[in-house]
A and B are shown apart, each in its own frame.
Chain A
Amino acid sequence: MTKIAAEALIEKSLFILALFSCFVILIILCFIFFEGFPAIQEYGFFKFLFGTIWSPNDGQFGVFDMIIGSLYVTFIALIIAIPLSISCATFMAEVASNKVRNFLKPVVQTLSGIPSVVYGFFGLIILVPFVRSQFGGTGFSIFTAAIILSIMILPTIISVSYDSLRSVPQDYKEASLGLGATNWQTIRRVVFPSALPGIITAIILGMSRAVGETLAVIMVVGNVAKMPSSIFSPARTLTSNIALEMSYATGIHYNALFATAVVLFMLIMLLLVVANYVQRKYSIDIGGGTL
């Protein structure tokens, strides 16, 4: 076989494989929409989306409280995780000596390899009693789940921001230092803005993981399908709603769980669109395109 024919064959196979993966995802999506549709049709789209009562036995399927639950948990988790992980990435990329850096990198990688059930278990055994004794209530709360989630998304945000910080050209740093800037001024005014698009990507990835995480959240969030009144009240998220009830749901209840997945899907899409918009805006502001 000639070289050109071989190349063509490789390109074709890659294309077919790519097409195949897209196709599989598309089928799953179709299936979810198809199975969710009857519930939305029967119960009404707006009633489903904005209804605040979830009571399958009484035929009530409002997921609004769970949308709030998901957003609430994710938002608090990000508030905790963003400053921590970005400081950590900045330290690793710009301050730490090679020795410290080579120690920290595998530690962060290991952290991302721990399965969610282990995080959930840790939360259940250590964090829930702690929150109960410090802040009252049962200890199962949005706050507890947010802490666990923030720990889980740390490695993602750290490693992606780290790569982005490290890829800022040495030229920029030299220019800044050469003008008499201190290390910290250089980090804050040159390195950080140049790495910002990548850091936003890191946050988006962390956010997607937080919205989608199920098991660890179920173990500590309390799962009460009610509007949370404070950060220390229990809540139920969209993902945990599906996981908790799928084993026994039948009929329209079964469809309603798929419809929950549709809502989750749309929520994630919405968050991604917003995040992409922010990222585009920043890339243009610094004018360097994506660095």
Chain B
Amino acid sequence: MYKIIAKHLNTYFGDAHILKDINFKVAENTVTALIGPSGCGKSTFLRSINRMNDLIPTFKREGTLLLDEEDIYSPEMDVVNLRRKVGMVFQKPNPFPKSIFDNVSYGLKIHGIDDEGFIEQRVEESLKSAAIWDEVKDKLDQSAMSLSGGQQQRLCIARTIANNPEVILMDEPCSALDPISTLKIEDLIHKLKKDYTIIIVTHNMQQASRVSDYTSFFLNGEIIESDETERLFVSPKEQKTEEYITGRFG
């Protein structure tokens, strides 16, 4: 069974046709990488899945997008619950200007959980899953702003995990980080795979081949090719894919 399915998905910002007839499937507990030159619609696709594009007044959509066979854009869909189930990690680490603890407990609190003991336990688990517990366990009440960029990004992952999501969307999560922090996040993605379905946008082809099981190549709002990562990189079927991964453009 597929976790996420897109069928003939088209999106627009005003008159600009951004995503063109996207057909896409993601299996549960896999990592899928979205690659492609910038401006080709990777973020737009990702933000369609948790309906973050709804914030943009000019956004329009046609076609279907399913999460567990349920239409993400149906009028009955509870967006609050959708975004709890489909967490997002952004390109620039964006912790709240609050304490480390309050950052991680934020999602629990807004979803009405107020059992202190449960929250504390959950914060600890999430920080451990995000491989940052050892670095912050003695300063949970310090501001998240005092952490390094890489730590902030792992904190943002912990914050997402605390919500107990099923899918995690990552939009170039390492593009603002140094190589060592990048490696830590990649390790983390490997570990998270057994519990979560992950879709990651990346500009970095090595990263895509290191972390993902499947890869989709986007170009000008279309998916040119989707395949198992190894196969796509070793023997792409499409000329354009080959040109892109061998660095001839983009």
Contact = CB atoms under 8 A, between A and B. Distances in A.
Interface stretch (B31-39, B63-71, B156-164): B156-164
Q: Which of B95, B96, B109, B144 has the most CB of A within 10 A?
A: B96
Given A287-B144, A291-B97, A180 B92 contact: no
Contact of A178 (B87, B98, B109, B146): B87
A149 B163 CA distance: 47
Q: In terms of DSSP, what is the predominant structure of the interface of chain A?
A: helix
A136 to B, nearest CB: 48
A249 B194 CA distance: 86
Interface string B127-164: 00000000000000011111000000000100110010
Interface stretch (A46-54, A115-123, A181-189): A181-189
Contacts of A182: 80, 110
A175 B163 CA distance: 13
Interface string A267-291: 0000000000000000000111101
A179 B144 contact: no
Interface in B57-83: 79-83
A223 interface: no
B220 interface: no
A178 B145 contact: no
A15 B173 CA distance: 46
Contacts of A178: 50, 52, 83, 87-88, 90, 160
The interface size bin for chain A is 20 to 34
A178 B84 CA distance: 8
Given A179-B163, A287-B146, A288-B145, A189 B90 contact: no
A177 interface: yes
B107 interface: yes
A174 to B, nearest CB: 7
Contacts of B94: 169, 171-172, 174-175
A194 B97 CA distance: 7
Q: In terms of DSSP, what is the predominant structure of the interface of chain B?
A: helix
Interface residues of B, number: 33
A158 to B, nearest CB: 24
Contacts of A174: 52, 55, 90, 94
Nearest to B91: A171
Given A169-B94, A287-B98, 13 more contacts: A171-B92, A174-B55, A175-B156, A178-B52, A178-B87, A179-B160, A180-B111, A189-B106, A194-B97, A287-B143, A287-B145, A289-B145, A291-B97
Interface of B: 50, 52, 55, 79-84, 87-88, 90, 92, 94-99, 106-107, 109-111, 142-146, 156, 159-160, 163
18 contacts: A176-B106, A178-B52, A178-B88, A178-B160, A179-B83, A179-B84, A179-B163, A180-B80, A180-B110, A181-B110, A182-B110, A185-B110, A189-B109, A193-B97, A194-B96, A287-B99, A287-B144, A291-B97
